[in-house]
């Protein structure tokens, strides 16, 4: 009887594979708590590869923090061996690799391989494109400021970066299918730097992203992420960066890659 119950619980559970960089890292705590509430009584398991400056194709990071590339960090192997009835993957914060001097063709090839591996697990995949503002509204002064602040080692120029953004976004748009959902139209939620969601709009945009995930799962919920949860998420990120990623004083847990 117990085995049957546990088997039913696993069949109804959802495994979330969350991939991203700064935006996902900043909202992570509130985002997963929101998903847990909306799915209850179904259980949810979370695996994540996130962190400021993280890349999909190559190592990335911030200051003295270096994260392995998402494609080689082991999260997909862990997802394959996890016992869950449904797998949902979110790929967001795509674009750091451009500033790490990775050609657009390489980024597209690695993303295509990532999507194929997730599809082989019967995963539902949701993707946020690179902000459209970066396709045609980025002046050279703004670009130089962003590069100096967030990517001081980058050698790419504005024209090359804009061309790569357009090429990758075209690929993402063409990849939308029965198992890949493109979450577009998020430009109004970005802050002054145009690459990070505004702290004052994060609760709204992550509620919207969660809503797309819940729609795929055929779950209806009027729940929202509160602004206080975003503040707690930002605090949790600071602690994670200081105690785990920088100082290695505290472990991050088995779900982090």
Residue 78 lies in a domain: yes
Closest by CA to 126, choosing from 170, 92, 90, is 90
- Asked whether the predicted pLDDT for residue 1 surpasses 50, the reply is no
Closest by CA to 209, choosing from 45, 43, 38, 74, is 38
The pair of structure tokens assigned to 80 is 């394959």
Residue 257 lies in a domain: no
**CATH number of domain containing 177:** 3.40.50.1110
Question: Any idea what the Cα angle at residue 29 is, between residues 235 and 254, rounded to 5°?
Answer: 110
- Asked whether the predicted pLDDT for residue 3 surpasses 60, the reply is no
Residue 72 lies in a domain: yes
Report, as an integer, the average pLDDT of 103-120: 98
Residue 253 lies in a domain: no
**pLDDT band at residue 10 under the 50/70/90 scheme:** low
Residue 68 lies in a domain: yes
Range with top average pLDDT, 56-65, 78-87, 95-104:
95-104
The pair of structure tokens assigned to 187 is 């430009």
- To the nearest whole percent, how much of the chain has pLDDT over 70? 95
Residue 46 lies in a domain: yes
Q: In terms of DSSP bridges, do strands 180-182 and 60-62 run parallel, antiparallel, or are they unpaired?
A: unpaired
The beta strands (E) that lie in 50-175 are given as: 60-62, 65-67, 86-91, 124-127
What is the residue-averaged pLDDT of the chain?
Answer: 92
Residue 191 lies in a domain: yes
**pLDDT band at residue 84 under the 50/70/90 scheme:** confident
Report, as an integer, the average pLDDT of 23-45: 97
Please give the pLDDT value at position 11.
66
**pLDDT band at residue 145 under the 50/70/90 scheme:** very high
Please give the pLDDT value at position 4.
47
**pLDDT band at residue 9 under the 50/70/90 scheme:** low
Residue 190 lies in a domain: yes
Q: Based on the structure, what is the number of domains in the chain?
A: 1
Q: How far apart are alpha carbons 169 and 130 in whole angstroms?
A: 6
How far apart, in Å, are the Cα atoms of 18 and each of 14, 102, 158?
12, 22, 29
- Asked whether the predicted pLDDT for residue 6 surpasses 60, the reply is no
81 lies in which domain range? 2-246
Model pLDDT for residues 150-202, shown as the tens digit of each residue: 999 899 999 999 999 999 999 999 999 888 999 999 999 999 998 999 999 99
**Helical segments of 90-157, H only:** 96-99, 104-120, 133-136, 140-150
Q: How far apart are alpha carbons 139 and 248 in whole angstroms?
A: 39
Please give the pLDDT value at position 5.
36
């Amino acid at each position: 009887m117990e085995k049957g119950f546990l088997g039913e619980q696993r069949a109804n559970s959802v495994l979330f594979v969350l991939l991203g960089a700064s935006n996902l890292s900043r909202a992570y705590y509130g985002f997963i708590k929101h998903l847990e509430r909306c799915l209850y009584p179904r259980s949810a398991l979370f695996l994540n590869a996130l962190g400021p400056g993280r890349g999909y194709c190559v190592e990335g990071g911030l200051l003295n923090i270096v994260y392995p590339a998402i494609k080689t960090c082991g999260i997909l192997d862990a997802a394959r061996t996890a016992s869950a009835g449904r797998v949902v993957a979110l790929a967001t914060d795509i674009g750091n690799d451009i500033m790490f001097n990775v050609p657009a063709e390489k980024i597209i090839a690695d993303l295509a391989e990532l999507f194929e591996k997730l599809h082989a697990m019967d995963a539902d995949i949701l993707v946020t494109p690179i902000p459209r503002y970066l396709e045609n509204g980025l002046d050279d002064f703004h670009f130089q400021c962003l590069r100096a602040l967030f990517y001081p080692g980058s050698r790419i120029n504005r024209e090359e970066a804009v061309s790569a953004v357009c090429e990758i976004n075209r690929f993402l748009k063409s990849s939308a299918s029965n198992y890949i959902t493109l979450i577009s139209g998020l430009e109004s939620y970005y802050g002054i730097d145009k690459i990070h969601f505004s702290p004052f709009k994060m609760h709204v945009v992550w509620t919207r992203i969660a809503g797309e995930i819940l729609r795929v799962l055929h779950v209806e919920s009027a729940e929202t992420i509160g602004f206080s949860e975003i503040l707690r998420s930002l605090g949790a990120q600071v602690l994670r960066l200081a105690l785990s990623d920088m100082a290695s004083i505290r472990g991050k847990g088995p779900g982090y890659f």
